[in-house]
Amino acid sequence: MRHPERDIPVKDADEVEREKLNNSIFGKVAASKKFEYTTLFIIVLNALFIGYDADFSARFGKPDDLYVCGDYKPSACYQFIFFENLFAVYFTMEVFIRFWAYKRKCSCLRDLWFLFDSTLVMFMIVETWILPVMGTSGALSQLSVLRLLRLLRITRMAKLMRFFPELQIIVKGMLAAVRAVVSVAILLIMLLYVFAIIFTSEYNQGDVSDEDVIGANKLFGSMTKSMRHLFIMGTILDDITLCCNFIRSSSSNTFQMMTFFVLFVLISSFTMLNMLIGILCEVVCATGEGERRKSSEMGVRDAITTLFHKMDKDNNGEITRAEFLDMKSDRHVMKALGHLEVKAKHFEMYADLMFKAEEGSGEVPTFDME
């Protein structure tokens, strides 16, 4: 009663995207998985080639003009011409296909990914085809830095995480644990501040310059130094031996300050960081359980959707008894039913239960998707 929207079927991202596309050849291509995976492959290839380009330029230097090889052999220069034109042609074609695939062309103005990709393709066309023809590619070679923006397209590979549930669980667990991490960080900063006051009060360096300070005064001569070295040496435990030796070699309150330092290590490193690890493990486990439940629900929904479209022979949006019984001969439907643990020998029983004629009119009901 508090959450009536839970009864409304939740559409996944792919289903929402497919609803924006038309039934033309462009819509079918844009909705196909082969087109999506090919685009992801080209994006990764483009990212790898940008790294190769940067390494080649750092080692041997590369002319600003794409089509001028200078003193290089063709085998050492023409790969840039080939790949840059390949990427420009493919990404231009991709944007063109996605634009004509929309049912309403104005929808592309609300698609942030489409706007981002279109902007990158525009810069790519200017850099690869327009500037070299105008002969100004050398003067405007700083535009080549914009090629690094193509690396942002690789973030679209996040879609592949649906095929790796463990990776998806870890990423979502990290996002869910942000609040716990921030809380621990705030508590750690408060702890650092309190102990920094104690150590700065004991080992303040006064008006002495940093070059002339030695011993514990060099580590804890000011508040900023104290907080920095307490975090590095007392929390992360990097070079903790050096810090202990400096405190032990100090001339005053050695035992007291060592006690404070050990107490800080026990609270910050041994307690708080290990407590944070425990919180992260708990959050990831809870997130994993929720994702497995959600994946199971989405799997059932996908199987039911597959069943509906396979059974609806006349595409009128309703299933009749005859269409329901015909699915026994469809291997795709049988595979989907297998995921739902439904056996073929129970078809007649299901048909009798679902399509039972009404008592008054004797009319046999039909079923829609819901």
Q: How far is CA 233 from the centre of its chain?
A: 34
Beta bridge partners of 367: 319
What is the rounded CA–CA span in Å between residue 347 and residue 364? 17
The predicted pLDDT at position 20 comes to: 84
8 A C-beta contact, residue 150 and residue 46: yes
The predicted pLDDT at position 75 comes to: 59
The predicted pLDDT at position 267 comes to: 94
The predicted pLDDT at position 1 comes to: 36
Look at residues 257, 217, 265, 215 and name the one whose alpha carbon lies nearest to residue 240. Answer: 265
The predicted pLDDT at position 12 comes to: 57
Q: What is the pLDDT of residues 55-91, one digit of tens each?
A: 887 887 777 677 777 666 655 678 888 998 999 999 9
Number of Cβ within 10 Å of residue 115's Cβ equals 12
Domain boundaries, the chain: 4-159, 176-291, 312-354
Structure token digits, residue 342: 């439904």
8 A C-beta contact, residue 165 and residue 295: yes
Structure token digits, residue 36: 């999506």
What is the rounded CA–CA span in Å between residue 64 and residue 76? 15
Look at residues 119, 144, 127, 129 and name the one whose alpha carbon lies nearest to residue 50. Answer: 144
8 A C-beta contact, residue 127 and residue 57: no
8 A C-beta contact, residue 92 and residue 125: yes
**Rg of the Cα trace of the chain?**
32
Residue 341 gets the label, from left (phi > 0), alpha (psi -120 to 50) or beta, of left
Kindly give the confidence (pLDDT) of every residue in the chain, 370 residues in length, as a single tens digit, with 9 standing for 90 and above: 354 444 444 455 566 777 788 889 998 898 888 898 898 888 888 888 888 888 887 887 777 677 777 666 655 678 888 998 999 999 999 999 999 999 888 888 888 888 888 888 888 888 788 877 776 555 445 555 555 665 665 655 555 565 666 777 787 888 888 888 899 999 999 999 999 999 999 888 777 776 767 778 888 888 998 999 999 999 999 889 989 998 888 877 888 999 999 999 999 999 998 988 888 888 888 887 887 777 777 777 777 777 777 777 777 878 777 777 777 777 766 776 676 677 777 777 877 888 887 777 777 788 787 7
Q: Under CATH, which architecture does the 176-291 domain have?
A: Orthogonal Bundle (1.10)
Single-letter amino acid, residue 288 = G
Residue 342: which residues within 8 A CB-CB, separation 6 or more?
A: 350
The predicted pLDDT at position 6 comes to: 47
Question: Which residue blocks in 206-273 are alpha helix, DSSP H?
Answer: 216-219, 223-229, 240-248, 254-265
Q: Can you tell me whether residue 99 is helix, strand or coil?
A: helix
Beta bridge partners of 319: 367
Question: Which residue blocks in 109-248 are alpha helix, DSSP H?
Answer: 112-125, 131-134, 165-176, 178-203, 216-219, 223-229, 240-248
Q: What are phi and psi of 319, to 5 degrees?
A: -110, 130
